[in-house]
Amino acid sequence: MNMSDYNKSTSPFIQLLGVILLSILTSGCQHLKFFPDATENVATPELRPEAKTKATTIETHEFQISDDQAMVGKIAAVYTRENDTLSDIARHFGLGYNDISKANPAIAPWTPAPDSRVLLPLQFILPDAPHKGIILNLANMRLFYYPKQPPGKVFTYPVGIGRQGWSTPMGLTSIVAKKANPTWVVPASIHQEHAQKGDSLPSVVAAGPNNPLGLYAMRLGFPRYLIHGTNKPYGIGMQISHGCVQLYPEDIEILFKNASLGMPVRIVHQPYLTAWHEDMLYLEANEPLQKWTQDKGRLKKQLLKQLRQVSSKRNVAIDWEKVDSIIERSDGIPTPILKQSPDVTDIAANAVQLEHPEKLYQQPVVGELKDSDWSILVASFDSELEAQELTTMLNHQGPIIPARKIKKNNAYQVIAGPFKNKKEVNAIAKRIRMDFEIDVEPLKPLSISGN
Amino acid sequence: MKKVIKLSMIALTFSLIAACATTSDVEDLQSQVNGLNTSVKEASANAASAQTTASDAAAKAEAAKAAANEAAQLSEDANAKLNKKFKRSMMK
């Protein structure tokens, strides 16, 4: 076929094609999705809550496990409402401050914007230790309890542990005593520490809201160390104790009832945890505690060696760059590490979307402040956000220091109250001065007015 | 011969007319060139002025960015300080 033959033979075909194309372009625009509708989102990085089916509940503390199971739970997410804090959300879902703040580094913990999507790291790799009694992993501040009856279960709770210089001891011990409504006999070292701050503690603190042991205490075989509740629940997930292990009041109540005398308690420090789960290898990395900072290189080397062995034994390819980035992130989120496996962004996107609970458990509620009440002017800020931050921190004290921000002229005042009398005002003022180093101003009744 | 002279005269006349027209065009062109020169000078001056303004704006933007960064850093420091105080308040 020469060119003229080609032209002759294809000409009607091209004409027909032209007609079809023209008809598509003129009439088909409405049907073909070359351009999205104005109302349609081109790219939705995360679905709005109303567009996704939301779950109302999720397992947070109690999980069924099989003999060889090394990981439990699921990653979830919830949208914040006005006045929520990450601490409120953490407590409601059985997480500690460390868990939620590490998993949501871009969200201001005390002043999250309403409708922020908060990731709930409710998937846990079990520590590498016998599934017997209580196992406490200091690195992620999480306790695991394996009951004898019923078998095949694990309960997990976030904890507060010893601060730098007051480390929680490690090793194997057991529960040697249990006491409900304990009194706190203040050790001499703590007396001394408070005296240095200008605070005097009684030698014995009776059971009640001012008792830092909370309502339940279990003595460990390690002398002077306890697992107990707390009157400062928002310190869970922090290194805040003198070495004791603290749980949320609602968690210690359950553990206290289930734990028996003689139950083994093993305390470990495992910042890097691995698990095979549904044919996938997972790695959870946590920053080693300050005491082990010097050992970070050794711990990482140990992990890499272990992973190389697993890779060779199971004949699987590990994404080593991903391993490095997980260690760098150290956010406590179990992440798959085999090649071509989903990344943390996929995990976040596919997290179980939860309905916001009607009320977050024990979320502080501040009563109305009347002109006739005693109160305290804590601080004044130009920034509303800074005022809000201090306000929420006061509301999350243990016991609570009720506070609110009030706009006055062009500033935002943080006012604490109501208080019954001058004595209470002075006691609270002392607490705020000592802990927050703020020179507060007690206000007599009728001396407060906002606009 | 006469015909040649006639033709020469006609050609000369045309050439003179054409030459006159060419001179006028050149003058016009010169005038345009002069005008353009002025425009170019004005444009250069404007460009220089715009460049100065742009430089000033860039410097101001840089200063504003530095101030914003400083404010953000201060705010971050204040937050970190406040967080540390909160943590201390949680100790028993």
pLDDT one-digit tens code per residue, A194-232 = 888 888 899 999 999 999 999 999 999 999 999 999 999
> pLDDT digit string (tens) for A98-108?
999 999 999 99
CA distance to partner chain B, nearest, from residue A393 (Å): 7
How much of chain B exceeds pLDDT 90, in percent?
A: 13
pLDDT at A193 over 80: yes
Neighbours of A401 (CB within 10 A): 24
Contact between B91 and A190 under an 8 Å Cβ cutoff? The reply is no
Q: Quick check: B5 contacting A, CB < 8 Å?
A: no
Question: Of A163, A240, A389, which has the smallest distance from its Cβ to B82's Cβ?
Answer: A389
Model confidence at A416, pLDDT cuts 50, 70, 90, reads very high
Arithmetic mean of pLDDT, A89-111: 98
CA distance to partner chain A, nearest, from residue B60 (Å): 24
pLDDT of residue B79: 84
Contacts of A135 by beta carbon, 8 Å cutoff, 6+ apart: A126, A127, A129, A143, A144, A145, A146, A266, A268
Q: Beta strands A245-247 and A142-146: pairing type?
A: unpaired
Contact between A252 and A215 under an 8 Å Cβ cutoff? The reply is yes
Contact between A92 and A359 under an 8 Å Cβ cutoff? The reply is no
pLDDT of residue A34: 30
Q: Quick check: B74 contacting A, CB < 8 Å?
A: no
Arithmetic mean of pLDDT, A422-435: 96
Question: What is d(CA A39, CA A35) in angstroms, rounded to the nearest whole number?
Answer: 11
Q: Which residue has the tokens 């992993």?
A: A137
How much of chain A exceeds pLDDT 70, in percent?
A: 87
Q: Which residues of A touch B85 (CB under 8 A)?
A: 393, 435-437
Q: Quick check: B84 contacting A, CB < 8 Å?
A: no
Q: Which residues of B touch A191 (CB under 8 A)?
A: none
Lowest mean pLDDT among A76-80, B31-35, B61-65: B31-35
Find the closest chain B residue to A110 by CA distance.
Answer: B83
CA distance to partner chain A, nearest, from residue B47 (Å): 41
Question: What is d(CA B83, CA A375) in angstroms, rounded to the nearest whole number?
Answer: 24
Q: Quick check: B46 contacting A, CB < 8 Å?
A: no
Find the closest chain A residue to B77 by CA distance.
Answer: A386
Q: Determine which of A85, A248, A392, A436 to mutate to test the interface with B (most B C-beta atoms within 10 Å).
A: A436
pLDDT of residue B25: 73
Model confidence at B72, pLDDT cuts 50, 70, 90, reads confident
Arithmetic mean of pLDDT, A307-312: 97
pLDDT of residue A125: 98
pTM, whole model, 2 decimals?
A: 0.80
Lowest mean pLDDT among A161-165, A289-293, B18-22: B18-22
Q: Which residues of B touch A431 (CB under 8 A)?
A: 89
Contact between A417 and A373 under an 8 Å Cβ cutoff? The reply is yes
State in Å, rounded, how far the first CA of chain B is from the last one: 131
In order, the DSSP letters of A19-64 are HHHHHHHHHGGGTSTTS--TTS-S--SS--GGGS--BS---SSEEE
CA A45 remoteness from chain centre: 23
Q: Which of residues 184 through 223 in chain A touch B, CB cutoff 8 A?
A: 190, 212
pLDDT of residue A74: 98
- Answer yes or no: A244 catalytic: yes
Question: Of B82, B87, B88, which has the smallest distance from its Cβ to A390's Cβ?
Answer: B82
pLDDT at B22 over 70: no
B92/A190 touch (CB, cutoff 8 Å), yes or no:
yes
Domain ranges across chain A:
374-443
CA distance to partner chain B, nearest, from residue A432 (Å): 9
Question: Which residues are bridge partners to A405 per DSSP?
Answer: A414
Higher pLDDT, A241 or B29: A241
Q: Looking at A370-421, list the stretches that DSSP marks H as alpha helix, in order from N- to C-terminal side.
A: 384-395
Average pLDDT over chain B, rounded to whole? 79
Higher pLDDT, A251 or A54: A251
Q: Which of residues 239 through 298 in chain A touch B, CB cutoff 8 A?
A: 240-242
Q: Quick check: A378 contacting B, CB < 8 Å?
A: no
pLDDT at A86 over 80: yes
Model confidence at A44, pLDDT cuts 50, 70, 90, reads very low
Arithmetic mean of pLDDT, A352-361: 98
Q: Which residues of B touch A108 (CB under 8 A)?
A: 79
pLDDT of residue A447: 55
pLDDT of residue B29: 78
Q: Which residue has the tokens 């009439």?
A: A27
Model confidence at B28, pLDDT cuts 50, 70, 90, reads confident
Q: Quick check: B81 contacting A, CB < 8 Å?
A: no
Amino acid at B52: T
Q: Which residue has the tokens 């509303």?
A: A384
pLDDT at A419 over 70: yes
Lowest mean pLDDT among A9-23, A30-44, A119-133, A274-288: A30-44
Which member of A244, A269, A356, A396 is catalytic?
Answer: A244
Q: Quick check: A107 contacting B, CB < 8 Å?
A: no
Arithmetic mean of pLDDT, B29-49: 85
Model confidence at B11, pLDDT cuts 50, 70, 90, reads low
Arithmetic mean of pLDDT, A415-420: 97
HSE of A69, CA atoms in CB hemisphere, 13 A: 14
Arithmetic mean of pLDDT, A14-29: 45
Q: Quick check: B71 contacting A, CB < 8 Å?
A: no
B90/A240 touch (CB, cutoff 8 Å), yes or no:
yes
- Answer yes or no: A29 catalytic: no
Find the closest chain A residue to B83 by CA distance.
Answer: A393
pLDDT of residue A28: 36
Higher pLDDT, A60 or B22: A60
Model confidence at A341, pLDDT cuts 50, 70, 90, reads very high
| Sheet strands (E) in A382-450 | 403-408, 411-419, 441-443
Model confidence at B68, pLDDT cuts 50, 70, 90, reads confident
Query: Number of CB pairs < 8 Å for A and B?
Result: 44
Which member of A61, A92, A228, A269 is catalytic?
Answer: A228
Find the closest chain B residue to A235 by CA distance.
Answer: B90
Average pLDDT over chain A, rounded to whole? 90
Find the closest chain A residue to B74 by CA distance.
Answer: A386
pLDDT at A410 over 70: yes
> pLDDT digit string (tens) for A369-399?
999 999 999 999 999 999 999 999 999 999 9
A435/B82 touch (CB, cutoff 8 Å), yes or no:
no
Q: Considering the domain A374-443, what is its CATH architecture?
A: 2-Layer Sandwich (3.30)
What does the DSSP 8-state code read for residue A124? Answer: E
Q: Quick check: B72 contacting A, CB < 8 Å?
A: no
pLDDT at A337 over 70: yes
pLDDT at A345 over 80: yes
How much of chain B exceeds pLDDT 70, in percent?
A: 75
Find the closest chain B residue to A162 by CA distance.
Answer: B91
CA A84 remoteness from chain centre: 13
Question: Of A230, A238, A437, which has the smallest distance from its Cβ to B85's Cβ?
Answer: A437
pLDDT of residue B17: 52
